[in-house]
Amino acid sequence: MKELSTRAISGALYISLLILCIYWQYALVVLFLGFGLICMAEFKKLIQLESKAPYVVFVIMYLGFSIWCLASSPNSGFNEAIQIIQVITIFVQLLLIKDLFSEKIIPLFNTKRYILTTFYLSSSFVFLILIANNNYIFTPLLLMGAFILVWVNDTGAYLIGKNFGKQKLFPSVSPKKTVEGFLGGLFFACIASYFIAKFTGTLDFTYWLILSIIVSVFGTIGDLIESKFKRQAKVKDSGVIMPGHGGLLDRLDSIIFVAPFFYLFLRLFPHVS
């Protein structure tokens, strides 16, 4: 009972902090800067990287794009820079998906460690800020909708998996995840997309429905990939900053992996906003 209460309080503080900051552009930038540095510290431990360079790269990349977003009229190089970062990030994520389906451990030579800290973690926080500033207009409800879909998917997957789960989804990486749980999370995320469309006034229901599928699929994959990193590091959690939950990376692994694909959808269909 005490552990459940600790978990609930810790989770409530995290969600409250996010909600308080998400509607104020500068506060959101600062919040994700802090979140990113914490996640970087946790991830570096998982992949056994002692260098301080990833912190420098993250701060430069993240603040560079954030300042660009805060500008009223970004220069012509902005879109080109985003496209380059997006192509590399999605390519790296696809390689991680390939590694996930391999029974072998994820190879972590030094070059790959730096690639991962840059294009698995740092760039994903850039895309979170870009989602909130889609088409250079601060639209925090787009980002809030993405987080809600992740939370609903995770909750639905947990409840359905715990009560009805039989067939293991990925037993070699996460023995508790089940196919029934995944489908349950997807189902509830699709339902949530209707209410997000109705009450946020950001995108039509059809687009939020597609995004709910994107979030459910890639959010689950992101969680599995982080689980594989933890399994290789032989740890249960990425950190201890959130009592009852583990590390901050444990809470953000899904949205971090989803962000580039979510933003790609917004770019492919600019008229949806």
Rounded average pLDDT over 59-75? 83
Q: What whole-number distance in Å separates Cα of residue 90 and Cα of residue 76?
A: 23
Rounded to the nearest 5°, which phi and psi values hold at 176?
-85, -20
**With bands split at pLDDT 50, 70 and 90, how would you rate the model's confidence at 69?**
confident
Lowest mean pLDDT among 76-85, 212-221, 259-268: 76-85
The per-residue pLDDT for 31 is 97
Question: CB of 122 within 8 A of CB of 36?
Answer: yes
**With bands split at pLDDT 50, 70 and 90, how would you rate the model's confidence at 271?**
low
Between these two residues, 45 and 3, which has the higher pLDDT value? 45
The per-residue pLDDT for 273 is 47
Nearest to 12 by CA among 259, 251, 183: 251
Between these two residues, 80 and 262, which has the higher pLDDT value? 262
> Mind spelling out the 3-state secondary structure of the chain?
CHHHHHHHHHHHHHHHHHHHHHCCHHHHHHHHHHHHHHHHHHHHHHCCCCCCHHHHHHHHHHHHHHHHHHCCCCCCHHHHHHHHHHHHHHHHHHHHHHHHCCCCCCCCCHHHHHHHHHHHHHHHHHHHHHHHCHHHCCCHHHHHHHHHHHHHHHHHHHHHHHHHCCCEEECCCEEEEEHHHHHHHHHHHHHHHHHHHHHHCCCCHHHHHHHHHHHHHHHHHHHHHHHHHHHHHCCCCCCCCECCCECHHHHHHHHHHHHHHHHHHHHHCHHHC
Q: What is the pTM of this model?
A: 0.93
Rounded average pLDDT over 123-133? 96
The per-residue pLDDT for 71 is 75
Percent of the chain with pLDDT over 90: 74
Q: What whole-number distance in Å separates Cα of residue 182 and Cα of residue 8?
A: 23
Q: Is the pLDDT of residue 119 over 90?
A: yes
Tokens of 263: 């933003």
For the segment 203-237, what is each residue's pLDDT rounded down to a tens digit? 999 999 999 999 999 999 999 999 999 999 999 98
Q: Is the pLDDT of residue 135 over 60?
A: yes
Amino acid at the residue 184: G
Rounded average pLDDT over 20-35? 95
For the segment 151-183, what is each residue's pLDDT rounded down to a tens digit? 999 999 999 999 998 999 998 898 889 999 999
The per-residue pLDDT for 137 is 87
Q: What whole-number distance in Å separates Cα of residue 81 and Cα of residue 13?
A: 35
Question: CB of 229 within 8 A of CB of 117?
Answer: no
Q: What whole-number distance in Å separates Cα of residue 141 and Cα of residue 22?
A: 8
The distance from CA 113 to its chain's CA centroid, rounded to whole angstroms, is 19
Q: What whole-number distance in Å separates Cα of residue 214 and Cα of residue 153?
A: 11
